[in-house]
Amino acid sequence: MALFRLKFNRSKYLLLLFLPALIYYILFKYVPMFGILISFKDYNPFKGIWQSDWVGLKYYSMFFHSPDFPKLLKNTVLLGVYKVVFGFPAPIILALLLNEVRKGVVKRLVQSISYLPHFISNVVVVSMMFLFLSPTSGLVNHLIEWMGYSSVNFMQNENYFRTLYILSEIWQHIGWETIIYLAALSAIDPQLYEAATVDGASRWHQLRHITVPGIMPAIVILFILNIGHVLDIGFEKVLLMLNPSIYSTADVLSTYVFRTGIQAMNYSYGTAIDLFTSVVNLLFILTANWISRKTSETSLW
Amino acid sequence: MNKKTAVVLSAVMGASVVLGACSKNNNEGASPSPSASATTSASAGASASAAPTTITPQTFTFLDYSNPSWPYDANWKIWSYIKEKTGVTLDIQLPAGNLLEDAISLAIAGGDMPDIMWTQEKRLADKFGQQGALVNILDYVDDMPNFKAWMEKYPAETQNMLSSDGKMYEFPNQGLGESNRRTWMYREDVFKKLNLSTPKTWDELYETLKKLKAEYPDSYPLTVRNGLRYFEDFAAGFGVSAPVDAQRVSAYLDGTSGEWKYAPIQPAYKDMLVYFNKFYKDGLIPKDFLTIDTKMWQDIVSTNRAFVTLDYIGRIDFYNSALRKDNPDFSMNFMAPPAGPTGLQKNAFTAVTEEGFMISSKSKKIKDIVKFIDFFYSEEGHKLVSWGKEGDTVSGDSFIEKYTDISDLRKKTGLSTDGTYTWFDFNAHISVSSPELKSAYEQAPQYDNAKTSTPPFTPEEQQVLSTKGDSLNSHRDENFAKFIMGTRSFDTWDKFVEEQKKLGYEEILEIYKKADERAKAAVK
């Protein structure tokens, strides 16, 4: 007890600093979590959460029996997996390439240009895609036609959706995500490189044995965090790109929740699907963390 | 409307008034404060003759919508007119982020509802009304002499506002629906130049579009916006007009058999899609027709790349007044709908609006509010909200000031903006229109399809419609797109019908039938 008091006294100002954050999390992150109750109830906004009737797993079974369920799950998982497979390594590769650039000016220029798209909103990015890729007036199709090929209806072809989504995601975020790896790179002790050079290691060897292992902890942590969002596919951008001809590949859980849960006011149904998504995400993150703990020293906990 | 339904509907109204009176007893939750009922009962007695519509000056809180094209302004003349006539000041709250639906849900869930709320969709009123959040208007008909008379005058509008439980949670609306009318339009000047006449049939339409394309190779002679939405209008010529949007199932009331049918599986619907497939192949509609938004559509029309289009009738003025500055010949004009294979020359009936007032069941001033809203159903209120005040905005039957168009009128006066009307004289809007638009308003109604409205559903039915219906709708849209773009062959049409069946259109039609029968039974 005495020890506790001593510790408390010593850190009371720190705790005071922490207090606003704690209150924020309780109020805005933990309290709203009780809202998931409505996925087990026939939620009636006039009655409120407590007074609404319990219906058990009705909305979950409704969702699992929906003819769209397999399609939605497949689209969401595929898009999430592609994003991890292609989107995750992209900033690492850029960071490693930038690291090899010896001229400071060039490095800074590339960095600035590559992180600017991060500040463009999704609405604008998708409008740009529609404009550039339009078969009636788009620049890209004019170019294709000029080269003697027939124009491609990019935004209305289900086979192009995933590629376009992932490519634009990479374009938007590559520079921004590179920053964290560049920071990790700068933390590597320069003496290691000097020693390696003395030992006769080539640039490639240095990269393999010093640079990559040096930023590995950062990579692993970010990877685990990324895995936790496999099913949280950016709702806004998919919704903006969505049109009837690409439903079969582009309709994902979040757009479905928006349509049937929010627009059609089936709040309980929407919440049930959302909770399902979160549970799957949690499973992903736990698995990734477990694997990482078994195979390397780095893990979230 | 045929004679038989007219008779049924007019019989309806008296009945629903009685019905309202009956349901009053089991609605104690909404009993107003004794003082309010005391003041109103006195005037209710005198209401048989010209009713005094003024009530004790007071303020009601009102959750209203602010249209981005004519944003809410507290200094609009309309508010002072209303105050002058009714003694009521409206304390207006605007929805955060302009999301009216969310704001209403939030107000209801939070239990802190304003006295009056404005809705743009009836389903919202039905949903929250059946949950007990809104006043059943029929309970108060006796306090609203003007409304009572109005209901007898407009039985169809009244009936359309009934909910599946036979009650009414939103005040019906008449007159301003005209502004939602959609129609075919064409570029008169270009047609004249090329010596083309407006197509009378869909075959002629195809030939005409081809001639236009030959003359203007970079054009997409027929261009509409918003994806598949206007297929509701196109389908009218084929006799299978039904909504095509993500939220609504494509069910329609068949005029000849009087039965609810599902449009997308009808052979006539296939005929229409075959036309569009031809249009697509020949480049007569844009290749990216599904993703043409308003902005792109405007670009295409205003740069001489589309010559036939379908949209809100007011777009005639929208284009003409904007584009004549640079091109004095530019002339967008009304076009009669081309006839489908069976000779039907029809437009979907789109002159409807679902906007209206709702009253909170928790309000302490219900009796005063209904008296206030009753004013809007009087001849005087009708004129006031349509034209404004004699000598101030209007003189006789024309506006004093010259407004460039309807939104100019709205922005300057607040007339016909959200929350200021229920019964509207559309001549007020016609009076600020160009001669072309005026003549369009005169011609358009003769091509109207029969007026049908969606029957009211119970909350359980709504849930099925929105979940099962969503699978059905997305499959429908996806395959319409494929048939048109030629990525799915019409040889597989039977298979498509089979797929739609599996997704349950029959079950959904059954819901429509039941809801319709229930609605009819309720008013008998």
Average pLDDT over residues A119-138: 90
Q: Given a cut of 80, is residue A2 above it in pLDDT? A: no
CB contact under 8 A, B471 and A247: no
Across chain B, mean pLDDT equals 87
Q: What pLDDT score does A114 carry?
A: 92
**A241 to chain B: nearest residue by CA?**
B291
Q: Is A260 on the interface with B (CB under 8 A)?
A: yes
Per the CB < 8 Å rule, is A136 touching B247?
A: no
Can you tell me the mean pLDDT for B462-484? 94
Exposure string for A116-142, b = 16+ CB within 10 A, e = fewer: ebeeeebeebbeebbeebbbbbbebbe
- Taking each helix axis as running N to C, give the angle between helix B493-502 and helix B505-522, from 0 to 180 degrees, rounded to the nearest 10: 60
Residue of A nearest to B471 (CA): A68
Mean per-residue pLDDT, A185-196: 91
How many other CB atoms sit within 10 Å of the CB of residue B173?
23
| Mutant choice from A136, A239, A246, A269 vs B, greatest count of B C-beta within 10 A | A136
Q: Which residues of B touch A46 (CB under 8 A)?
A: 108-109, 128, 131-133
Check whether B46 has a pLDDT greater than 60: no
Assign B68 a pLDDT band (cuts: 50, 70, 90).
confident
Give me the pLDDT at residue B523, please: 67
Q: What is the pLDDT of residues A213-266, one digit of tens each?
A: 999 989 998 998 888 888 887 788 999 999 999 999 999 999 999 988 888 888
For residue B491, give both structure tokens. 């040889």
The answer to whether residues B268 and B231 touch, using CB atoms and an 8 Å cutoff, is no
Nearest CA in chain A to B305: A136
Give the H/E segment covering residue B268. Answer: helix B267-281
Residues near B437 by beta carbon (within 8 Å), at least 6 away in sequence:
B313, B314, B316, B317, B430
B49 secondary structure, DSSP code: S
Integer-rounded Cα radius of gyration of chain B: 24
CB contact under 8 A, B287 and A135: yes
Residues of A within 8 A of B228 (CB-CB) are: 244
How many residues does this entry show for chain A?
301
Contacts of B462 in chain A (CB under 8 A): 264
Q: What residues in A contact B288, CB-CB < 8 Å?
A: 130, 134-136, 153, 155-156
- Of B126, B360, B467, which to mutate for an interface test with A (greatest number of A Cβ within 10 Å)? B467
**Mean pLDDT for all residues in chain A:** 89
State how far the Cα of B492 lies from the Cα of B504, in Å rounded to an integer: 19
In this prediction, residue B524 has a pLDDT band, given cuts at 50, 70 and 90, of low
Q: Reply yes or no on whether the pLDDT at B25 is more than 70.
A: no
**Residues A207, A212, A214, A218: what is their CA dihedral angle, to the nearest 10 degrees?**
150
Confidence of residue B38 (pLDDT cuts 50, 70, 90): very low
pLDDT in tens, A273-294: 999 999 999 998 898 888 888 8
A32 CB within 8 Å of a chain B CB: no
By C-alpha distance, the chain A residue nearest B124 is A265
CB–CB contact A135 B288 (8 Å):
yes
CB distance B233 to B182 below 8 Å = yes
Collect all residues of chain B within an 8 Å Cβ-Cβ radius of residue A136. 220, 286-288, 300
Angstrom distance (rounded) from CA B151 to CA B16? 10
User: Taking residues B461-482, what's their average pLDDT?
Assistant: 93
A266 touches chain B (CB under 8 A): yes
Per-residue pLDDT at B18: 39
From the centroid of its chain, how far is CA B178? 8
What is the pLDDT averaged over residues B304-312? 95
| CA gap B166, B160 in Å, rounded | 11
Q: Which residues of B touch A65 (CB under 8 A)?
A: none
Which residues in A lie closer than 8 A to residue B291 (C-beta atoms)? 130, 155-156, 243
Sequence-distant (6+) residues with CB within 8 A of A50 are none
CA atoms within 13 A on the CB side of A123: 0
> How many Cβ atoms are within 10 Å of B459's Cβ, its own excluded?
16
**CA terminus-to-terminus distance, chain A:** 28
Alpha-carbon dihedral sign for residues B478, B483, B485, B489: positive
CA B24, B30, B35, B40 torsion: positive or negative? negative
What pLDDT score does B54 carry? 57
CB distance B485–A248 less than 8 Å?
no
Residues B467, A244: C-beta atoms closer than 8 Å: no
Select the residue from B288, B304, B482 to test the A interface by mutation, using most A Cβ atoms within 10 A: B288
Q: Which of A243, A245, A251 sits opposite B482 (nearest CB)?
A: A245
| Cβ(B446)–Cβ(B151) below 8 Å | no
For an interface test with A, the pick among B474, B487, B500 (most A C-beta atoms closer than 10 Å) comes out as B474
What distances in angstroms separate CA A64 from CA A67, B143, B473, B501, B505, one per listed residue? 8, 50, 19, 20, 20
* pLDDT above 70 as % of chain A: 100
Do residue A265 and residue B127 have CB atoms under 8 angstroms apart? yes
Q: What are the beta bridge partners of residue B168?
A: B162
Measuring CA to CA, which residue among B121, B130, B131 is closest to residue B100?
Answer: B121
- Burial (0-12, 13-18, 19+ Cβ within 10 Å), B117: buried
Instruction: State residue B26's pLDDT score.
Output: 39
Which pairs count as long-range contacts for A136-141, CB under 8 Å and 24+ apart, including other chains? Answer: A136/B220, A136/B286, A136/B287, A136/B288, A136/B300
Model confidence at B23, in pLDDT bands (50, 70, 90)? very low
Q: Which residues of A touch B290 (CB under 8 A)?
A: 156, 243-245
Q: Of A46, A155, A244, which has the smallest distance from its Cβ to B128's Cβ?
A: A46
Q: Quick one: pLDDT band at residue B99, thresholds 50, 70, 90?
A: confident
Q: Say what the pLDDT of residue A42 is.
A: 87
CA of A157 vs chain B CAs: smallest distance (Å)? 10
Give pLDDT, residue B405: 82
Residues in B closer than 8 angstroms to A55, CB to CB, are none
Please list every residue in chain A whose beta carbon sits closer than 8 Å to the beta carbon of residue B477.
Answer: 244, 247
Torsion over CA: B230, B231, B234, B235 (sign) = negative
Strand order in the sheet with B356-359: B88-93, B58-63, B116-119, B356-359
Taking the Cβ of residue A50 and every Cβ of chain B, the question of whether any pair is shorter than 8 Å is answered with: no
Asked if residue A280 lies in contact with residue A219, where contact means CB atoms within 8 angstroms, the answer is: no
Cβ-Cβ contacts under 8 Å for B428 (sequence gap 6 or more): B386, B387, B399, B415, B416
Looking at the predicted structure, is the pLDDT value of residue A9 above 70? yes
Flag if A156 and B502 touch (Cβ within 8 Å). no
Average pLDDT of the residues in B248-259 = 90
Cβ separation A243–B290 shorter than 8 A: yes
Q: How far apart are alpha carbons A43 and B111 in whole angstroms? A: 15
Give every CB contact of residue B26 below 8 A, 6+ residues apart in sequence. none
- Judge whether A51 is closer than 8 Å to chain B, CB to CB: no
pLDDT (tens digit, 9 = 90+) per residue, B158-193?
988 999 888 999 999 999 999 899 999 999 999 999
What would the two tokens of residue B306 be? 């589309």
CA dist list (Å): B413 to B179, B295, B299, B403, B425: 18, 28, 31, 10, 16
Closest partner residue to A136 (CB to CB) among B286, B467, B474 is B286
Band (pLDDT 50/70/90 cuts) for residue B30 is: very low
Closest approach of chain B CAs to the CA of A210, in angstroms? 50
In single-letter form, the type of residue at position B351 comes to A
**Cβ contact (<8 Å) for A264 and B291?**
no
Chain A residues near residue B487 by CB distance under 8 angstroms: 245
Is the CB of residue B249 less than 8 Å from the CB of residue B510?
no
For chain B, the first-to-last Cα distance in angstroms comes to 18
Q: In 3-state terms, what secondary structure has residue B245?
A: strand
Rounded-to-integer distance, Cα B291 and Cα B275, Å: 20
Q: Which residue is closest to A262 within chain B, CA to CA?
A: B102
Identify whether the C-beta of residue B366 lies closer than 8 Å to the C-beta of residue B36.
yes
Does the distance separating the beta carbons of A269 and B481 come in below 8 Å?
no
Query: Cβ B109–A248 below 8 Å, yes or no?
Result: no
Q: What is the pLDDT of residue B290?
A: 92
- pLDDT greater at residue B20 or residue B123: B123
Name the DSSP class of A130: H
Q: What pLDDT sits at residue B510?
A: 96
Q: Which residues pair with B262 in a beta bridge?
A: B251
Chain A nearest CA to B298, separation (Å) = 14
In B, minimum Cα distance to A156 occurs at B288
Express each pLDDT in B134-164 by its tens digit.
999 999 999 999 999 999 999 888 988 999 8
- How many CB atoms sit inside 10 A of residue B354's CB? 20
Residue of A nearest to B473 (CA): A244
Enter the tokens of residue B73.
Answer: 């302004």
Give me the total of CB pairs closer than 8 Å, taking one residue from chain A and one from chain B: 99
d(CA B21, nearest CA chain A) in Å:
25
- Distance from the A251 Cα atom to the nearest Cα atom in chain B, whole angstroms: 9
- Chain A partners within 8 Å of B227 (Cβ): 243-244
pTM over 0.90: no
CB-CB under 8 Å, A244 with B228: yes
Pairing of strands A53-54, A41-42: antiparallel
For the residues A30-57, what does the mean pLDDT come to? 85
Using a CB-CB cut-off of 8 Å, the residues of chain B touching A151 are 287
The reply to whether residue B109 touches residue A45, judged by beta carbons under 8 angstroms, is yes
B114: burial class by Cβ within 10 Å (0-12, 13-18, 19+)?
Answer: buried
